[in-house]
Amino acid sequence: MAARVDAARRRAANLARRPRVYFEEWDEPMISGIGWVSELIEAAGATDVFPELSRHKSAKDRIVSPEAVIAVAPDIIIGSWCGKKFVPARVAARPGFTEIPAVKSGLMREIKSTVILQPGPAALTDGLDQVVAIVEAWARQTSA
C-alpha cells in the first residue's frame, strides 16, 4: 500500500501545478473531508483547501460555509455524500458557486463513499486511483 501511495506521489511530481480540491462528504450541512482523504488528495498531487479541518474526526467539526468554499476557489470539487448520489447540478446551483473554477470548468466528480470514506484498504487502492484520475484529468484539461 505504501508503494502505491509513493507511486502516486511520483506521478504527481510531473504536474505543472497543483489543483486546489474541495472534498465534500455531505451536502447539508456542507462537510469537508476527513484526514485520510486529505492525505490522498495530497498524494495525488493536489492541495486540500481545508487541511486544518481534515484533522478533526468529528463531522460537526468539519462543517464549512458556502462563503468559505467560494473564498478558497477550488479547481476541483469531489463529492462523496454518504448513502446518496453526489449531484453536481445541486452544487453548481448554490448561490455564488458559479464563480468557483471547478463549477466554471465542470470539474465536479463523485467518488462513492464506500470507496474512499470507509477506513481500510479500499481508500488506499480504488480511492487513491480515483483521486489520481480526477487530478490528472484536470491537468490535461488545463494544459489544453
Q: Look at residue 57 in the predicted model and tell me its pLDDT.
A: 93
pLDDT > 70? residue 122: no
Give the pLDDT mean for 112-131.
84
Tell me what pLDDT residue 21 has. Answer: 98
Share of the chain above pLDDT 90, in %: 74
Query: Quick check: 144 pLDDT over 80?
Result: no
Kindly report the average pLDDT of the chain as a whole number: 93
Res. 5 pLDDT band, cuts 50 70 90: confident
27 versus 122: which is more confidently predicted?
27
Instruction: pLDDT band for 125, please (50, 70, 90 cuts).
Output: confident
Secondary structure string (H, E, C) spanning the chain = CHHHHHHHHHHHCCCCCCCEEEEEEEECCEEECCHHHHHHHHHCCCEECCHHHHCCCCHHHHECCHHHHHHHCCCEEEECCCCCCCCHHHHHCCCCHHHCHHHHHCCEEECCHHHHCCCCHHHHHHHHHHHHHHHHHHHHHHHC
CATH class of 2-138: alpha beta
Q: What are the tens digits of pLDDT across the range 68-120?
A: 999 999 999 999 998 899 999 999 999 999 999 999 999 999 999 988 888 77
